Amino acid sequence: MTGGEAVVSVLAQAGVEVAFGVVSIHNQPIFDALGRSSIRLVPSRTEAGAVNMADAFARTSGGVGVAMTSTGTGAGNAAGALVEALSASSRVLHLTGQVESRYLDRGCGYIHETKDQLGMLRAVSKVALRARPGQVAGTVAEALAELRRFPQGPASVEIPIDLQRTEDAPVRLALGEPERRPPDPDRLREVVGLLRAARRPLVWAGGGVLAAGAEAALGHLLERWGAGLLTSNAGRGCLSEEHPRCVGNFGTSPALAELWRRCDLLLSLGTRFRSQETAGYRLPVPALHVQVDCDPARIGACVPVSHPLVADVRLALEAMLSELGEAAPEPGWSDEVAAAGAEARRGLRAGLGPYEAMVDELAARLRPDDVVVRDVTVASSLWGNRLLPIRRPRTNVFPLGGGIGQGLAMAIGAKLAVAGQGRRVLAMVGDGGLAANLGELRTAVQERAPLTLLVFDDAGYGVLRSLQDARYGGRRVGVDLLAPDFPLLARAMGWQARRVETARDFGPALAWALEAQDKGSSAMVVLDLVAIGPLARPFLPPD
């Protein structure tokens, strides 16, 4: 078979059913082979969009997302989205072209050539590989195997165009269960002793809990141990946020100050302790802090740790459960945890003004297994990431790298991950972020991936505008944008659309948009934030 056919053969053996990409002269043989296969090809409008779609597909499905781009500029366009996939430890396989083998790394001005493309891909991927003659299939198989190893992250493979056309050696893919590192028995016994003695314990769960499939084990531990649960943004959904002891993504809320002061042991699981979720790494962790992570480089990198445990999170939790026995938290501790979580939510709601009702409408109308995608915008950063309840695993998608403009493409990837399941996808995006990826509106229509899109239109970059207002005396630079008529634009792209100018009109518009999705149509609701009015308390993002 040719190299292009070899790529598709390996993908099919890996169980890939959907791939995203932009066709180019440097990947046509792969696209031709895809067209003759059973794998569904989703032609995104941009390379970044393809990677964002593959990223969200992987997060929502728990499988692998495949993205294909061209050489040089095309691979460069994908780099920002790969940064996001790397930030989220997402299992994305990125396949990109390369110039002919005989011209590699010579700087001959070959079309699409760029200096050290492989080095660029190494900087934004967990691993980056280059296929050699006769080894295209083997290199793709190697990348797929790397995606299964913990810690996870995107893998990029560049394939010279001549190798896509010429004969390649087929491989028989043999992907067993990923290797998981068990906890050291001696360290585990020490940790279990600490857990038994803890009277006021807290757990901090990150995205590693979901990556390891450890949600059930975590739930059992929490019930037996009586601990309260905080999560990072990536860890949301590992336990329903409607559970009374799930405080959620409120680790730095002033309402939790007393809870942190009284906590006598923190167990953190698969988390990076990102800066904006720890007040710049100043989280007041107790003296006894057990951090569990499969990556030794993460342990103690951001906050103090007294007892490191390098291990797969699921295996570590299962081992703890087998050894823990009955624990005895301090009477009333569970009530303290629930009260602190409720107070944190009340404090945030008090600053929302007219937008508080929107939180309630969304919580009431979204089903537990609906997927919520949020781009970086004021509504997401202020309340979408905290107040909007996430009730099930893998229903929460947010750009952890902090970039804007990724929400729409991620929503398409998430929708295709749940295709045929009767589940809906709702995306919250800002006007600035949507403008960066407008072409993907048409992708959603073309691919019959109906969405509900909430556009929070404040005619600019609201998060940065708030920061400039607070830090620079109201001097604004580069944050005010001339927005298009989004409903008119949406209709031109084949969407249904409505504009909302009062808070009381949001509920009916949301119901209309969700019903349209149930009937197979994409619908956009544009919220005119200037008309609706300001927040009761100005939003100030981390600086």
Residue 53's φ and ψ, nearest 5 degrees, are -65, -45
Three-class SS string for 307-320?
EEEECCHHHHHHHH
**pLDDT tens, the chain, 543 aa long:** 999 999 999 999 999 999 999 999 999 999 999 999 999 999 999 999 999 999 999 999 999 999 999 999 999 999 999 999 999 999 999 999 999 999 999 999 998 999 999 999 999 999 999 999 999 999 999 999 999 999 999 999 999 999 999 999 999 998 878 889 999 999 999 999 999 999 999 999 999 999 999 999 999 999 999 999 999 999 999 999 999 999 999 999 999 999 999 999 999 999 999 998 999 999 999 999 999 999 999 999 999 999 999 999 999 999 999 999 888 899 999 999 999 999 999 999 999 999 999 999 999 999 999 999 999 999 999 999 999 999 999 999 999 999 999 999 999 999 999 999 999 999 999 999 999 999 999 999 999 999 999 999 999 988 888 888 888 888 999 999 888 999 999 999 999 999 999 999 999 999 999 999 999 999 999 999 999 999 999 887 766
pLDDT at 463: 86
* Residue length of the chain: 543
As given in the structure block, the two tokens for residue 384 are 């979408």
Cis, peptide link before residue 534, omega less than 30° from 0: no
Q: How many CB atoms lie within 10 A of CB 542?
A: 13
Residues 464-483: b if buried by 16+ CB within 10 A, e if exposed: bbbbbbeeeeeeeeebebeb
DSSP string, 90-149: --EEEEEEE--GGGTTS----TT--TTHHHHHHHHSSEEEE--TT-HHHHHHHHHHHHTS
DSSP string, 334-379: HHHHHHHHHHHHHHHHTT-GGGHHHHHHHHHHS-TT-EEEE-SSHH
Enumerate the domain spans of the chain: 3-164, 185-339, 350-532
Q: Was domain 350-532 assigned CATH 3.40.50.970?
A: yes
State how far the Cα of 267 lies from the Cα of 316, in Å rounded to an integer.
11
State how far the Cα of 15 lies from the Cα of 38, in Å rounded to an integer.
11
Residue 229's φ and ψ, nearest 5 degrees, are -120, 125
pLDDT at 403: 92
CA distances to 196, 346, 374 from 254, in Å: 29, 12, 25
CATH class (in words) of the domain with range 3-164 = alpha beta
pTM of the model: 0.96
> Quick check: do 185-339 and 350-532 share a fold?
yes
pLDDT at 542: 67
pLDDT at 471: 87
Place of tokens 């945030």: 348
Rg (CA), the chain: 24
In what order do the strands lie in the sheet containing 127-130?
Answer: 40-43, 18-21, 65-69, 92-98, 155-160, 127-130
**Taking a C-beta distance cutoff of 8 angstroms, is the pair 375, 405 a contact?**
yes
State how far the Cα of 275 lies from the Cα of 280, in Å rounded to an integer.
4
Residue 480's φ and ψ, nearest 5 degrees, are -100, 130
CATH class (in words) of the domain with range 185-339 = alpha beta
